[in-house]
């Protein structure tokens, strides 16, 4: 691989180090697939260069897999990166992808790749002296955000209180979970919410892969009465044809993507006409490098992009894409362990104007959750 120059010398990756944290959620969350979730695992990665900045990357899980991601990096991938030019990001990504290809073109391998890739892009922004979104070309300064609850089994009163909290924060769009055992309860909750927020607030729903295609079509048509703008993950991600049937049957959008791991998976969905809203997660996709390629595919198909979680990184990526629509502000927020949480203003969030991605964890607060 090639070289970069800084002050007449060559900049190389000197070391990669990782640490695992299990951070309790400020409030337990529940959906139709995963049950109750009370913690987020964070694998933090620091990439140090022999002269120049340190890059920060991370991967997350909802409680399972963190030790495996850390081990994959420590035992197999770190040695492939040390000594490399950190600005040859595409070349490093391809090298690592080939290294783990046989054991997984997605899943844990993608999560491990993401942590490294994000750290390298952080270094690139710092070397250039640019915020990440400007390094990537920049398209807009602010991104609309929606409040996202993981709230399947909240009572009516708790659900309304949660949504009122979102509105008080300044959100102009809200997403709730559906997928209860009795579908009439889902319809009741969405109707209740629509009556509460009126016509001026946009609503989305997320089924977390709860239904069959026939069930999703039946429920989707009933939900359209309440002016829901998208139905998220109605089926398992493996059922492309089922999603195509749902997308063709409904006038509301069908959002898919948080459980897709490669540009090839997204291309199959796009070619089949099986989604209307392209939902990207920079961690499950293997990092910024792959995210940008899927964003380009979405733009080519004239489809909007929204994101899943990791908004502190993805706000930069959305701000660099002409296809961006919404950023998710998730119930699993990490604000309580961040030095600079994102600020919502007029229903929008903006990337920080500092070199790199600007994500900084408050280690005094985070250190108590370290494992090992």
Cα gap 324→128, rounded to integer Å: 24
Bridge partners, 146 (sequence order)? 328
Q: Which of 299, 324, 309, 288 is nearest to 141 (CA)?
A: 324
pLDDT at position 237: 97
Which residues, 6 or more positions from 175, have their beta carbon under 8 angstroms from its beta carbon?
146, 147, 148, 149, 203, 204, 205, 206, 232, 328
CB 371 within 8 A of CB 20: yes
Domain boundaries along the sequence of the chain: 5-128, 133-362
Cα gap 201→356, rounded to integer Å: 34
SS3 state at 213: helix
pLDDT tens-digit map of 154-181: 999 999 999 999 999 999 999 999 999 9
pLDDT at position 2: 45
Catalytically active residues are 177, 308
- Beta 9-10 vs 5-6: how paired, if at all? antiparallel
Cα gap 120→118, rounded to integer Å: 5
Return the sign of the alpha-carbon dihedral for residues 257, 259, 264, 270: negative
Return the sign of the alpha-carbon dihedral for residues 121, 132, 62, 183: negative
Q: How far is CA 12 from the centre of its chain?
A: 29
pLDDT at position 26: 74
Which CATH code for domain 5-128? 3.30.390.10
CB 233 within 8 A of CB 255: yes
Please tell me what DSSP assigns to residue 103.
G
Cα gap 2→91, rounded to integer Å: 10
For the stretch 176-214, what's the b/e string if a residue is b when 16 or more beta carbons lie within 10 angstroms of its beta carbon? bbbbbeebeebbebbeebbeebeeebbbbbbbbbbbebe
- Average pLDDT per consecutive 10 residues, the chain (372 residues; last block may be shorter): 49 97 84 80 97 95 95 98 98 96 89 98 98 98 96 94 95 97 97 96 97 98 98 98 98 97 97 98 98 98 97 98 96 90 97 98 97 92
Q: How far is CA 211 from the centre of its chain?
A: 23
106 phi, psi to nearest 5 deg: 155, -160
Cα gap 255→280, rounded to integer Å: 10
Cα gap 284→265, rounded to integer Å: 12
Which residues, 6 or more positions from 16, have their beta carbon under 8 angstroms from its beta carbon?
45, 46, 47, 48, 73, 77, 78, 81, 82, 116, 119
Which class does domain 133-362 fall in? alpha beta
Question: What is the number of H-type helices and E-type strands within the chain?
Answer: 13, 15
Cα gap 62→84, rounded to integer Å: 32
């Amino acid at each position: 691989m090639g070289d970069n120059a800084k002050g007449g010398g060559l900049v190389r990756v000197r070391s990669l180090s990782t640490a695992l944290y299990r951070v309790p959620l400020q409030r337990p969350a529940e959906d139709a697939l995963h049950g109750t979730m009370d913690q987020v695992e964070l694998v933090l990665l620091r990439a140090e260069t022999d002269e120049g900045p340190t890059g920060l990357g991370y991967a997350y899980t909802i409680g399972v897999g963190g030790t495996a991601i850390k081990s994959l990096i420590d035992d197999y991938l770190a040695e492939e990166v040390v000594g490399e030019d950190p600005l040859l990001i595409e070349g490093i990504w391809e090298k690592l992808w080939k290294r783990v290809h046989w054991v997984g073109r997605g899943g844990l391998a993608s999560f491990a790749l993401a942590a490294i890739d994000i750290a390298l892009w952080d270094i690139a922004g710092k070397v250039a002296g640019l915020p990440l979104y400007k390094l990537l070309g920049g398209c807009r300064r602010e991104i609309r955000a929606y409040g996202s609850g993981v709230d399947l089994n909240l009572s009516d009163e708790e659900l309304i209180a949660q949504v009122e909290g979102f509105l008080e924060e300044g959100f102009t769009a809200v997403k709730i979970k559906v997928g209860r055992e009795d579908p009439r309860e889902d319809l009741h909750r969405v109707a209740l919410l629509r009556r509460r927020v009126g016509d001026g607030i946009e609503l989305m729903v997320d089924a977390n892969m709860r239904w069959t295609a026939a069930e999703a079509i039946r429920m989707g048509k009933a939900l359209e009465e309440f002016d829901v703008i998208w139905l998220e993950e109605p089926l398992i991600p493996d059922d492309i044809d089922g999603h195509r049937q749902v997308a063709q049957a409904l006038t509301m959008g069908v959002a898919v993507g948080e459980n897709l791991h490669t540009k090839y998976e997204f291309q199959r969905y796009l070619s089949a006409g099986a989604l209307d809203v392209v939902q990207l997660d920079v961690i499950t996709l293997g990092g910024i490098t792959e995210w940008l390629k899927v964003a380009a595919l979405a733009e080519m198909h004239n489809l909007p992009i929204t994101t899943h979680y990791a908004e502190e990184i993805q706000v930069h990526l959305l701000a660099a894409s002409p296809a961006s629509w919404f950023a998710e502000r998730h119930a699993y927020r990490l604000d309580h362990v961040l030095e600079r949480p994102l600020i919502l203003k007029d229903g929008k969030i903006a990337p920080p104007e500092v070199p790199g991605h600007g994500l900084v964890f408050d280690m005094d607060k985070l250190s108590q959750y370290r494992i090992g």
